[in-house]
Structure 1
């Protein structure tokens, strides 16, 4: 209960929440006990990310009065529970993609300290898909879970507040990030030239072949050891130098170097935004803050506007032109390299038939021959291609061919609204 909170530990909250201030919103209530009760009983927080930034987030949340927290790191949860009596930090172990919507619906705020852009794209897409609409297409406010995202790279960092359905989502600004490196499947399978090719071959092709339905876990040391050893053997076979355990980790986990002081600054910014959301003590960031500390200290805030043709939250169409004479393999590579889409492992269906499927193994083998075929051999004018990708939590785009020359990406927002109006979630 809130009355059990040691006032000595939380005396700083009284100065912020127990009296009005010039930055408080109109909805702010200068009632410290009411805020303590909300922090302890109502606002359940999920922290995604177990690295340097994630640990800073846990510590800051505990100091700021949040009492119900779930993170991924067992060790960090144990430490926080011991260091802050009364704080209930519940650990879980596993991939965020393995959790269903019901799991995420229990939280009031989700805070990310991820070093992986694909993981951030996935949770962003999931939260947008969880929105509930009424018959008129209006969003139910109770279905909106604020998503506070942060990231660091060396002396640079950023924090961002996303209200799914209302502000721009993570996908809206995807072009601000460099495209993720994707290697052609035929290169990985037949003509590797780089150590990264050997690692990705072990990761994408060999793991599912050997371990069948067992999902690779980058945080499992046994899994990572197998990945390194398998990639090393592949490199020896093709006389390729440079495969190391560290490089293997970097390729499969997209590890980005970080500095402790930058982590502390960004974590402080994220938790401050969470506290503002809970208490209305000040206006929430609108909606992006960048920090550069390499030479001096520089910060800047600005609003990322919603992108109308965003694959996740947009409502309009964007035209994607491509020649019908290119091969399907080249087209898939283009989807990965385009800064607007950056799809990692797209699977394609047309007219209820599999054109190319990344998984399971049987479908991958059956559809691989289509990679060498031209688009105008596989599709006819007016065909609609359904494209799915593990970076998105569901099939979020379709691709329609027009006269064999140009294609149109189209969001499925209208379908989602219709489903919600029929009582589906």
Structure 2
């Protein structure tokens, strides 16, 4: 495919997306991620190995493709290790598609706003499809956004889960800023997620580890108690490899349909949901624009 694609995120979803784009023979892929690789990433982020721990995700993922002649002969990958929101607007103009595998809300809102701005200021000469994938445990979604035509990312903000309880592991491991980060690190890395939360001895061990780590990073422990800790632990949603694979496949399929002019939004819809928690089913529908959307209503 003779096009240039920007992939946002090189985590579990980003690795799957990059693999798919390479298999689709996309000519050039740029990938942005400011995180480094942790041991806990290796069970699902299959482009990384033990020796890659502490290396940047973006450059490591790009190197995996670029160092293999059978892959690099058809796809060139260019990495960026920096905050996505620091790129100037002009950076995004060079791409034909942008696919998001991010796990944070604000960067997606940023990209959505930039693409709508480009569309408006160019009088629709620039209209870059933004395909957003997201996962939460056994559930996931794909939003296909054509700036100025379909609902934008902001229009569907209220479709996000009411509890956002997953945290980027790079932050959790290297630069924790909240008690939630501390608790997730303890339960995900220092101990086993299979610990019996009904066992007072194991719960006390968890609590002491949380307190020690919070003190290590100078995080206020005033509100840290056993009840608070257990409440956070029970809300932590694990990342599931098969969900990442399904969502990434759907993202790339949407891109391919647009590229080959096979997309019919009235028929195909622009919002896909996958649910593997309550059986296994997908549902695609047309999500309408919000006439009062603060971002796209004026376009």
Q: TM-score, normalised on structure 1?
A: 0.48
Deviations 1:373-395 (A, max 9, x none): xxxxxxxxxxxxxxxxxxxxxxx
1:261 and 2:261 equivalent? Answer: no
Aligned runs of 1:40-55 on 2, under 5 Å? 40=2, 43-55=3-15
CA, structure 1 residues 231+287, in 2 after alignment: closer, same or farther (shift >3 Å)?
Answer: farther
1:297 and 2:293 equivalent? Answer: no
Aligned runs of 1:109-188 on 2, under 5 Å? 109-133=97-121, 139-140=123-124, 142-178=125-161
CA, structure 1 residues 104+286, in 2 after alignment: closer, same or farther (shift >3 Å)?
Answer: same
1:85 and 2:72 equivalent? Answer: yes
CA, structure 1 residues 165+231, in 2 after alignment: closer, same or farther (shift >3 Å)?
Answer: farther
Q: Secondary structure at the match of 1:152?
A: strand
Unpaired stretches in structure 2, ≥5 consecutive residues: 33-57, 165-177, 184-212
**Who is 1:342 aligned against?**
none
Q: How many residues align?
A: 223
Deviations 1:316-370 (A, max 9, x none): xxxxxxxxxxxxxxxxxxxxxxxxxxxxxxxxxxxxxxxxxxxxxxxxxxxxxxx
Contact map agreement 1:198 1:231 (CA 8 A) in 2: no
Contact map agreement 2:20 2:249 (CA 8 A) in 1: yes
CA distance in 2, matches of 1:63, 1:108: 18
CA distance in 2, matches of 1:231, 1:168: 45
1:96 to 58, 76, 84: 84
Shift of 1:173: 1.3
The structure with the largest alpha-carbon Rg is: 1
Deviations 1:162-219 (A, max 9, x none): 00111100111112224678xxxxxxxxxxxx935999xxxxxxxxxxxxxxxxxxxx
Aligned runs of 1:262-281 on 2, under 5 Å? 262-281=243-262
Deviations 1:219-272 (A, max 9, x none): xxxxxxxxx767853435x4735799xx8xx9xxxx963200011011001111
**Who is 1:374 aligned against?**
none
Shift of 1:121: 1.2
CA, structure 1 residues 234+117, in 2 after alignment: closer, same or farther (shift >3 Å)?
Answer: closer
RMSD of aligned Cα (Å): 3.0
Contact map agreement 1:291 1:300 (CA 8 A) in 2: yes
Contact map agreement 1:198 1:232 (CA 8 A) in 2: no
CA distance in 2, matches of 1:53, 1:93: 17
Contact map agreement 2:127 2:147 (CA 8 A) in 1: yes
Q: Secondary structure at the match of 1:308?
A: coil
Shift of 1:56: 0.3
1:240 to 214, 224, 230: 224
Q: Secondary structure at the match of 2:7?
A: strand
- The structure showing larger relative contact order (alpha-carbon pairs under 8 Å, at least 6 residues apart) is 2
CA distance in 1, matches of 2:163, 2:216: 20
Q: Secondary structure at the match of 2:5?
A: strand
Q: TM-score, normalised on structure 2?
A: 0.66
CA distance in 1, matches of 2:91, 2:284: 32
Contact map agreement 2:5 2:28 (CA 8 A) in 1: yes
Contact map agreement 2:179 2:219 (CA 8 A) in 1: no
Shift of 1:283: 3.8
**Who is 1:195 aligned against?**
179
Q: Secondary structure at the match of 2:220?
A: helix
Shift of 1:289: 0.6
4+ residue runs over 3 A deviation: 178-181, 194-199, 228-232, 238-244, 281-285
CA, structure 1 residues 275+198, in 2 after alignment: closer, same or farther (shift >3 Å)?
Answer: closer
CA distance in 2, matches of 1:280, 1:92: 30
Deviations 1:28-61 (A, max 9, x none): xxxxxxxxxxx23xx1100001110000000000
